[in-house]
Amino acid sequence: MSTSDYTPKAKAKGKAYWHWNTTKTKLDFPAVIVFCCFFFVFGFLCSSLRSQVSGVRQRGRQLLNSVEYELMGHGKTGDDSISVIPFQVISWRPRAFYFPKFATLEQCQHIINLAKPYLAPSKLALRKGESEGPQDVRTSMGTFLSVSDDPTGVLDAIEEKIAKATKLPRTHYEHFNVLRYELGQKYDSHLDAFPVEQYGPQKSQRVATFLVYLSEVEGGGETAFPFENGLNMDGSYDFKKCIGLKVKPRIGDGFLFYSLFPNNTIDTASLHTSCPVIKGEKWVVTKWIRDQKDFF
């Protein structure tokens, strides 16, 4: 098409014209539609790209105000030393979970060796108006050990593993309480939490208990839950009786149960007992976990 085609005559015929340098190019109607569509799509793509770029910039800015971390691949723990901590659900009332082979045999023996020189008769938490004296409720021997009592790092490793298993922070942990039960020794049914009507107001509450069994027991010595899942709750239960759900100690295994419901009230089904040892000896270490850091 030449310049001479841009004439009133051609215009009158409804033809479109396009200037390209000095040359006039004639475009017919479908070409105009295609042209418009092209610019529309191009504009749309440009604007969405622009908004994506500004979104990324904004997230980048937000990251500057927070902690950046590398996301881990699926199935990875981000921890070189422990990849998984297998467990089994034992009960939902109380919430109780069993961790086979939680500690090694060497770790168990090490904790027993650490505790042995310091064993003394186990004590009870005193209720309002009670005073210390002879009692027949808790007859084991025991001692408290802290992570700093063990320069080899075994207690530190166990405590760290408890934190990973429970997802509850170490800042909320009481010291380890290592216990030895000889023939006939036991701990009658009790709660680890402190009902305010019995113990008065407390600075903090025990949320959960993690036990690590340090020995096998030839007979008896189970940790038992007489009220598990609503059993024996008709008011006739004798607190010295070893009935209900019984967990048999196995050396190295861990056992976690919660004393509180998720709403922080006491789960009465967490009432538990250490059944009398019938044969052999029972060693166990208890870790009580609080709802606050400054618990005493």
Q: 120-121 and 206-213: which strand pairing?
A: unpaired
Contact indicator for 198, 238 with CB cutoff of 8 Å? no
Question: Could you tell me the smallest distance in angstroms from the CB atom of residue 149 to ligand AKG?
Answer: 18
Length, in residues, of the chain: 296
Nearest to ligand AKG of 163, 224 (CB atom):
224
| DSSP-based helix, strand, coil % in the chain, nearest 5 | 30, 25, 45
Closest CB 269 distance from ligand AKG, rounded Å: 14
Task: Please identify, using beta-carbon distances, which residue of 155 and 179 lies nearer to ligand AKG.
Answer: 179
- Under 8 Å between Cβ of 93 and 229: yes
CB 268 to ligand AKG: min, Å: 15
Compute, in degrees rounded to 10, the torsion defined by CA atoms 102, 268, 178, 173. Answer: 80
Token pair in block for residue 206: 């025990």
Q: Rank residues 10 and 119 by Cβ distance to ligand AKG and give the closer one.
A: 119
- Shortest gap between Cβ of 177 and ligand AKG (angstroms)? 6
Residues 6+ apart with CB under 8 A from 279: 183, 217, 218, 219, 220
Q: Which is nearer to ligand AKG, 165 or 284 (CB)?
A: 284
DSSP readout, 41-58?
A: HHHHHHHHHHHHHHHHHH
Instruction: Tell me how far, at minimum, the Cβ of 100 lies from ligand AKG, in Å.
Output: 16
For ligand AKG, give the closer residue by CB, 79 or 218: 218
Q: How far is the CB of 207 from ligand AKG (least distance, A)?
A: 14
Cβ proximity to ligand AKG, 16 vs 137, nearer residue: 137
From 119, 54, 93, 43, select the one nearest 227 (Cα to Cα).
93
Shorter beta-carbon distance to ligand AKG: residue 107 or 276: 276
Contact footprint for ligand AKG (CB under 6 A)? 179, 187, 192, 211, 223, 272, 274, 284, 286
Q: Angle at the Cα of 158 (from 160 to 86), degrees rounded to 5?
A: 85
Element of type H or E holding 8: helix 8-12
Instruction: In angstroms, give the least distance from the CB of 227 to ligand AKG.
Output: 14
Spatial CB neighbours of 43, under 8 Å, sequence gap ≥ 6: none
